[in-house]
Amino acid sequence: MSESHPPLRSYGRLKTRTIKPRQAALMETLLPTLRPPAEAFDPKALKPDAAEVWLEIGFGGGEHMAAQAQRRPEVLILGAEPFQNGIASALRHIDEAALTNVRVHDGDARELMTRLPDASLERIFVLFPDPWPKARHNKRRIVQTETVAEFARLLKPGGTLRFASDWADYVDWSLERFVRSPAFRWTAELAGDWRSAPADHITTRYEEKRLGDCAPVFLDFVRT
């Protein structure tokens, strides 16, 4: 990542409302213990007994990440999110469930990805990312040809990636870029495979708001 030409920001505001006192306290006490190393690292070193390592890019309020971590305690989940209110919410979920298998990067997911070694992940989630719907802003979307290549670098053969969005144009945009990559195979066989939430999906309050222009679409890919 060039210091003189940093990547375009792929997310919107960093903070909206005032963070509640309890969550603000967790930002000061819990977050520092959950941050991954600031240099290149092997994620397995963070939890040597982890059966798998997953990455959630843009975890929002942390509902999905925390619920998956609670459901699969043997899995280490790395989460990346720059939105301060979302981080504070996620910390509350982590604290209340006493989760020990989550690590939180409070910043751009691409910064975290560059620090991870090749073939270090079994699973990646990109769920309802900022859609940047205006054509002139499409270049800010997290799913680009370059990031698809980075996803391929990080996933082990047979690893999976799930993209979800309720913006039709972003679904088409992402599908085009993943299908174009020889590193990924789209698993859908029937229309219901992308129109219905997968069995292991956890619906969040944000998803239920239906802020996009279509019903949620779920695209699952396998690293070939």
pLDDT in tens, 8-27: 555 555 555 789 999 999 99
The full DSSP string for 157-169 is: EEEEEEEEES-HH
Burial track 182-218 (b if 16+ CB lie within 10 A, e otherwise): ebbeeeeeeeeebeeeeeebbebebbeeeebeeebbb
**From 42, 106, 108, 130, active-site residue:** 130
Contact of 156 with 119, CB cutoff 8 Å = yes
User: What is the value of pTM for the model shown?
Assistant: 0.92
Does the pLDDT at position 52 exceed 60?
yes
Residue 93 and residue 31 in contact, taking contact as beta carbons nearer than 8 Å: no
Average pLDDT over residues 147-167: 98
Amino acid at 185: R
Q: What is the pLDDT of residue 13?
A: 52
* Closest to 156 measured CA to CA, from 75, 223, 110: 223
Contact 31, 96 (CB under 8 A): no
CA distances from residue 158 to 55, 178, 202 in whole angstroms, order as listed: 15, 15, 22
Arithmetic mean of pLDDT over the chain? 93
Is 130 catalytic? The answer is yes
Which domains, and CATH codes, for the chain?
Answer: 21-223 (3.40.50.150)
pLDDT number for residue 20: 92
